[in-house]
Amino acid sequence: MLSAKARLWRWLLDEVVHAPVEPILHPSRYRLLWIGAFTFVGHLVIYGIWGQLVPQPYENVWARLVMAFLALIYVLPRISRDPSSTASGRLFSLATWIQLPWFFTWMYWMNGGNAAWLGSMAAMILIYYHATDWRLATLGLITGGIAGWATAEFYGGSTHPFEEPLANVVVITFSWLMGLMLGFSSANLRRARLLNTLSTMGVMAHELRTPLATVNLMGDVLRNLVQHDVPEAKRKKLEELATRLQNLVRSMNRQIDTQISNAQLMRLPREQSLIMAAELVQEVVSQYPYRSSRERDCVQVHIQGDFCFSASRPLFAQVLTNLLKNALHALAAASTAPSPGDLRVDVGLHHGKGRIAVSDDGIGITQEQLQRIFEPFFSTQSGAGNGLGLTFCKNVVEAAQGRLSVHSQAGLGAVFMIDLPLHTPAAQPQAVSG
């Protein structure tokens, strides 16, 4: 019994409490545009049907117009440009809650739960579970149902007596259970597919460490050769070759660490500590495996103001490493050689939060790419990336209650901004003098 309770509790924590919430399922710009257009036209058409063609006991032209224009929220650039952002998820959730559970429940009660609105309620429940996370849909149906009933009471209650109330309860309950089952199972399926893919990548990345150790050993052998009686010209070439080999090994090991971290994309460790932003940034920048001294010299760190935040230090270091790697790749793809200041890391305060900004003067990101840049397996680097780095970064930042955003234009570089809530630094123990 104790073992079963422990497994049940672990399942509840992993699948209900700690599993990432997806306010917008299958987010994409065109899907949101279609939802907005369909909802806008749909309210006007349904008003014509229920109000004129097949008259119902209660209809409200003003409510229909408000719902129709509320659908335009789905096509706002703020949502459609970055559907995976926290702000987009909140706006989508609010608009969908008003459009579906609140409005449908209100009209259902006003029409006495007749056949037309009973069917509409059943369809609304299934649509809601298809549009958003099953936990948000369940909470939304409960709160929206209560709000819709209260609105109907405010307007004087049903204009038509309920017929077969028990049958209505059975149909709505069945629809709710089916929506809950489908929403929960599809969420598990999406996570299982992603976890299996990422786990395989993590294992493959780990297996690369063995040949890399051999390459690193070759670098040591070259360094030992330099110690013998070797002409100065050859000594410099051997030393340069050894340095390049070992820099390549460090870079590949860094990439392996990234892939192993990406394999934990959906199950990020919850251990957190207090981190000083300036110290972490300087550490990551100094230890990054640059490919050349020119590449190292192009990076500049500016500390306008230090701050403390709470996060997983190893994972957050990997976030900064990923952003540096992407910025350096963008610079390398530009037509000119990088110069000092082409890549800047700024640490400071912004609107009451801590901000770390990674800016580059590289090739930039197109508007089409910006709309999908945080999606798993989408990469702007054709043939060079796996499309998981920024998804991993976004998850780690949001696990620290922060926000990762990007501003960019093609040909004008890019700025990735991490905004984090502030924390009070841990007090340092005072030395006791004897």
CA distance 218 to 50: 79
**275 strand-pairing partners:** 309
Encoding tokens for residue 69?
């224009």
Q: What is the pTM of this model?
A: 0.57
pLDDT of residue 96: 95
pLDDT of residue 302: 93
Domain boundaries, the chain: 19-198, 208-262, 273-420
- Spatial contact of 329 and 384, defined as CB atoms under 8 Å apart: yes
- Spatial contact of 147 and 102, defined as CB atoms under 8 Å apart: yes
Phi-psi label, residue 428: left if phi above 0, alpha if psi -120 to 50, beta otherwise = beta
Positions in the chain whose pLDDT score sits under 50: 266, 383-384, 428-434
Q: Which residues 6+ apart lie within 8 Å of 8 measured at CB?
A: none
Buried b (16+ CB within 10 A) or exposed e, 174-210: ebbeebbeebbeebeeebeebeebbeebbeebeeeee
Was domain 273-420 assigned CATH 3.30.565.10? yes
- Spatial contact of 355 and 304, defined as CB atoms under 8 Å apart: no
Encoding tokens for residue 149?
């009933």
pLDDT of residue 45: 94
Pairing, β 403-408 against β 414-420: antiparallel
Q: Which residues 6+ apart lie within 8 Å of 216 measured at CB?
A: 245, 246, 249
pLDDT in tens, 393-405: 888 888 888 999 8
Q: Which residue has the tokens 């340095």?
A: 243
Encoding tokens for residue 373?
């840049």
User: How far is CA 359 from each of CA 133, 276, 306, 347, 418, rounded to the nearest angstrom?
Assistant: 34, 20, 18, 12, 12
pLDDT of residue 434: 38
